Amino acid sequence: MTHPEHSPASSAVALAPDTRRLPPRAARAWTEKMRARALGNGKYVVVGQSESAYEVDLQSGWCTCPDHQYRGERCKHLRRVALEITGGRLPAPDHRAVTCLACGRRSFVHTEEPAVCEACQFTPGTTVRDRETDDLLVVVEQTGDRADCVLIDDGTVADYPTNVGYPHGDPVVMCVYPFSGPSDEPFEQRRQYAFPHSRLEREWRPQSARQARLPNATSSQ
Ligand SMILES: [Zn+2]
Ligand SMILES: [Zn+2]
């Protein structure tokens, strides 16, 4: 059954190649049953149909299998890892798989970035609103540290009285108040405050909508 009105033009293109037209190693990379997993530091392990496990280093094009070791070929394991990365099923060599501390979804992040997915990351300079006080803040740093592990004053960020209702595993976001202190004081010199991620929301609303909401802000807390 066809539904031409629901079929974008791209659906007519095969997503996998016609493997009969590929060189044998490339075809096997597509069709053979292989399990691949990231080991970190740009290395992967591939377990093939024979249950033999081989280690792949994608960046240096290295595999421990005989096909690569003795024949110097770009073997099916190297090719399979590249296909899995392109398909979004394995992290690229400079990425790692994480469970996002904010939303709990599995995601790939750069090895130097915190375990917070792209959708949840507050990048430096983002304007956010404190859900408790309705104050505007500017993000200085999205950390990968849990609120119940970061010490402030007498306890952790999670213990702070106005933070207890937020998940204790929330990643901490460092912010400054843009409108306090001398107006010419650079953000990086201002006092920073630690917030649990869920307490902050991106500031999307236009100025007029914010002012209209302010009188009711206290009654909703
Ligand atoms: Zn190999
Ligand atoms: Zn997330």
Cα 42 to Cα 138: distance, rounded to the nearest angstrom: 35
Ligand closest in space to the Cα of 55: 1
25 closest CA partner among 63, 62, 67: 67
Residues within 5 Å of ion ligand 1, judged at the Cβ atom:
54, 63, 65, 68, 75, 77
Q: Of residues 207 and 151, which shows the higher confidence score?
A: 151
Q: What is the 3-state secondary structure (H, E, C) of the chain?
A: CCCHHHCCHHHHCCCCCCHHHCCHHHHHHHHCCCEEEEEECCEEEEECCCCCEEEEECCCCEECCHHHHHHCCCCHHHHHHHHHHHCCCCCCCCEEEEECCCCCCEEEEECCCCCCCCCCCCCCCCEEEECCCCCEEEEEEEEEEECCCCEECCEEHHHCHHHCCCCCCCEEEEEECCCCCCCCCCHHHCCCEEEEHHHEEECCCCHHHHHHHHHHCHHHC
209 has pLDDT over 60: no
In angstroms, what is the span from residue 214 Cα to ligand 2's centroid? 29
Residue 4 has pLDDT above 50, yes or no: no
Residue 30 has pLDDT above 50, yes or no: yes
CA of residue 171 to ligand 2 center, whole Å? 10
Place of tokens 């629901």: 6
Rounded mean pLDDT of the chain? Answer: 86
Q: How far apart are CA 66 and CA 54, in angstroms?
A: 9
Give me the residues near ligand 2 (ion), CB cutoff below 5 Å.
100, 102-103, 117, 120
- Say what the pLDDT of residue 169 is: 95
Helices 76-86 and 24-31 sit at what angle, rounded to 10 degrees?
Answer: 50
| Ligand nearest, relative to CA of residue 56 | 1
Q: Could you read off the pLDDT of 39-78 as tens digits, one per residue?
A: 988 999 999 888 899 999 999 999 999 999 999 889 999 9
pLDDT for position 192: 93
Q: Smallest Cα–Cα separation from 32: which of 75, 3, 74?
A: 75
Distance 118 CA to ligand 2 centre (A): 7
CA-derived radius of gyration, the chain: 25
Taking residues 187-208, report their average pLDDT: 85
Q: What is the pLDDT of residues 92-151, one digit of tens each?
A: 999 999 999 999 999 999 999 999 999 999 999 999 999 999 999 999 999 999 999 999
Residue 154: predicted pLDDT: 83
- Is the pLDDT confidence value at 219 over 50? no
Ligand nearest to the CA of 101: 2
**Hey, what are 202's tokens?**
């991106």
Give residue 37 CA to ligand 1 midpoint distance, Å: 14
Query: Distance between CA atoms of 112 and 95, rounded to whole angstroms?
Result: 8
Q: Ligand 2 mean position to 98 CA, how many Å?
A: 10
Q: Which ligand sits closest to the CA of 105?
A: 2
CA of 220 relative to ligand 2 center, distance in Å: 26
**So where are the chain's domains?**
19-86, 127-214
pLDDT digits (tens, 9 = 90+) for 182-196: 777 777 788 999 999
